[in-house]
Amino acid sequence: MRTDELVPVAAGLFEGTGSAARLIGTRCASCGTHYFPKTLSCRNPQCLEKATQDVLLSREGTLYSYTVQHYQPPALFRMADWVPYAIGSVELPEGLRVMGMLTGCEPASLTIGMAVELTVETLYRDVQGREVQTYKFQPRTAQELAA
């Protein structure tokens, strides 16, 4: 059974698809700290008011660090065609780092400090035939890979 329906791997992580995809985070209006995934309260011990609100985070960031996974991930993150894949920590302009799978190039082409952008891809089809999607980061341009 196959449908065109798309479902996120977990609720509240992101919205949109492709180049319109955005991560949903939290910004503390009191101290300006950003969080991802969303949080109910600011974790800054110096912050007294902790007035948090959901915000859409920047699509573009910098690859802070990464590793290549050579084992199959746990059930929540299963993939249709599993192959070793890279997972990275991406620094966003808001001053936070977000963990995510990396896509759009071979792991050997990744370099720390490269410009990356958010995208959304299908991990697998669930038992109802829906495409289960997650957010990933990919190199921003082909020039990034050639550099």
Q: Which of residues 34-73 bind Zn ion (CB under 5 A)?
A: 42, 44, 47
User: DSSP states of 82-101 as a string?
Assistant: ---EEEEEEE-TTS-EEEEE
Report the residue from 15, 16, 22, 30 that binds Zn ion according to the rule CB under 5 A.
30
CA distance 137 to 82: 18
Q: Which helix (H) or strand (E) holds 143?
A: helix 142-146
Residue 123 near Zn ion by CB under 5 A: no
Residue 31 near Zn ion by CB under 5 A: yes
Residue 138 near Zn ion by CB under 5 A: no
Give whichever of 18 and 45 is closer to Zn ion, judged by the CB atom: 45
Residue 110 near Zn ion by CB under 5 A: no
- List of residues 6+ apart from 36 with CB closer than 8 A: 23, 24, 25, 26, 57, 96, 98
Contact set with Zn ion (CB under 5 A): 28, 30-31, 42, 44, 47
